[in-house]
Structure 1
Amino acid sequence: MKAVLIFLILGVCGTGLTGAAEAFEKDVVKTTAGDLEITFIGHGSLMFKFGNKVIHVDPYSKLADYAKLPKADLIFLTHEHQDHLDPVALQQLTTAKTTVVLTEKFAEKVPGGIIMRNGDTRDVGGIAVEAVPAYNIMHKRDTGQPFHPKGTGNGYVLTFADKRLYIAGDTENIPEMGLLKRIDIAFLPMNLPYTMTPEMVADAARSFKPKVLYPYHYGEADPARLVALLKGNPEIEVRIRRMK
């Protein structure tokens, strides 16, 4: 039976916690071009190190003192909500050499960034990037407006040598997920009412079958429920990290 915490899969091995000053969990993914280090900051915030590059995703200053973390070569922003677009974190991470990738919806808030629309593909700093849709179908505000309208947010597929990572952003189990191919690692959100239930995450994972699935941005949802739902899908390894 597959365990929740897998210590060796796809060349992914847990490295536990960092020093006391930064109690963030880390995993290391073996690629054909060297190690990809994943740091789980929390919520929707991730940090990757690959080669000589540092990559941040949706940095949020309520989770960490970003002034003490490595400066960013690349920053990916999924949408404009304050826990994903945080000016304080951006200021602490950005240098004159930092490239920010973002959506057209809020480009005016971060001048000089690279705009990617749903469906765009391009090379960013030597990394192949695909911008994919991220939106709500079921979950809406009292006004009837989806929490995340279609076309305003991005998920990203990032290719690191032979490994493809899908960072879904704030989204539900949308039909476009079924078009994803060869995803080695996926980060899928699981917080209500803004994104998905564990059942929706399980449905999404079954649609494109990532080899490793990290639920992230999961709020009060119980990750153990997702593990149970995917028990009958041994091709999908579920790894739980502190990403509440």
Structure 2
Amino acid sequence: MKRLFILLFLFTNFSYAQDIIQSNEGDIKIQPILHGTLVLSFDDIVVYVDPYGGASAFEGQPNADYVLITDIHGDHHNQETLDGLALENASIIAPQAVTEKLPKENYKSVISLANGGSWKMGKINITTIPMYNLPETEDSRHPKGRGNGYILTFGDKKIYISGDTEDIPEMRSLEDIDVAFVCMNLPYTMGVDQAASAVSEFGPEIVYPYHYRGPDGLSDVESFRTMVNERNANVEVRLRNWYPSN
């Protein structure tokens, strides 16, 4: 009975377990951490995305070689979390609105990338695309050009990380995405129905709803999965536990 419980715990839809994506150059390891935070490992390269939640959230994780930050808000650029991690040998890649606030002496290097930029992290190629709210207004929480969405290429696999965005044309027009991490938390980003519509259109092989906690609680990711599968049955929706304390 105990063995059965452990197996069910590891393989439930809301799993704490690390996921493995196979590429033609080796395995890509994906570890959800919290909210919009994850760890990616490939070819002995470790990438932290939007470290948040305190250093304790990364216990048991290997030290980062690279850190990607999408935007200035505290659940993406969280300096307290960064300060608690061993990042002296890590390079930070972020938009200028973030890098101008970083204590650069704490890191191996700090690289500013604007929308449409590119960088190479060992065998991982990175390009940036916009992330922003619609309609575009002067008081937008996420104006176009300030933050970055990221596309990471690992061998023959492409992973898209949305950051805080709505269902913008740049996301809908993505092609050949194997894995996508897509946000959905009104009023900050987009609703479940908007996210499902966009994902169904650009059609990644696998999508992880992430960054889905808002002022009214957690978004209905089960409904997201249903809506995606009704519109595009070729997309696999993977639900993971991004909020361990809930």
TM-score, with normalisation over the residues of structure 2?
0.84
Amino acid at match of 1:70: P
- Give unpaired runs (5+ residues) of structure 1: 1-14, 18-22
Q: How far 1:77 moved relative to its partner? A: 0.2
Would you say the 8 A contact 1:139–1:193 is kept in 2? no
The answer to whether residue 171 in structure 2 is matched with residue 177 in structure 1 is yes
Partner of 2:115: 118
Q: CA deviation at 1:94?
A: 3.8
Alignment RMSD, CA only?
2.2
Label 1:40 to 1:120 Cα distance change in 2 as closer, same or farther (>3 A).
same
Decide whether the 8 Å contact of 1:25 with 1:242 is kept in 2.
no
Aligned match of 2:229: 231
Give the gaps of 5 or more residues in structure 2.
1-8
More helix by share: 2
Indicate if the aligned counterparts of 1:214 and 1:239 stay in contact, CA closer than 8 A.
yes
Shift in Å at residue 227 of structure 1? Answer: 1.3
Q: State yes or no: 1:84 paired with 2:81.
A: no
| CA–CA distance in structure 2, aligned partners of residues 88 and 25 of structure 1 | 26
The residue that corresponds to 2:203 in the other structure is 209
| Aligned residue type for 2:197 | D
Partner Cα separation in structure 2 for residue 197 and residue 62 of structure 1: 27
State the Cα distance separating 1:243 from its structure 2 match.
Answer: 2.1
- Number of aligned residue pairs: 223
What do residues 106-142 of structure 1 show as CA deviations (whole Å, max 9, x unaligned)? 21212341111001122123311010100001498xx
CA contact (8 A) 2:130 2:170 kept: yes
d(CA) in 2 for partners of 1:129, 1:118: 11
The farther-off stretch of 54-63 and 99-108 is 54-63
After TM superposition, the runs of 4+ consecutive aligned structure 1 residues lying more than 4 A away are none
Rate the CA distance shift 1:139–1:237 in 2: closer, same or farther, 3 A. Answer: farther
Q: How much does 1:34 deviate?
A: 1.4
Percent identity, please: 37
Distance 1:187 1:195 in 2: 13
Counterpart Cα distance in 1 of 2:195 and 2:136: 14
Which residue number in structure 2 is paired with residue 26 of structure 1?
18
* Amino acid in the other structure paired with 2:141: F
Letter of the structure 2 residue corresponding to residue 114 of structure 1: I
Aligned equivalent of 1:8: none
Distance in 2 of aligned mates of 1:218 and 1:180:
21
Asked if the contact 1:67/1:93 (under 8 Å) is kept, the reply is no
Conserved 8 A contact 2:54-2:84: no
Query: In 1, Cα distance between the equivalents of 2:222 and 2:55?
Result: 23
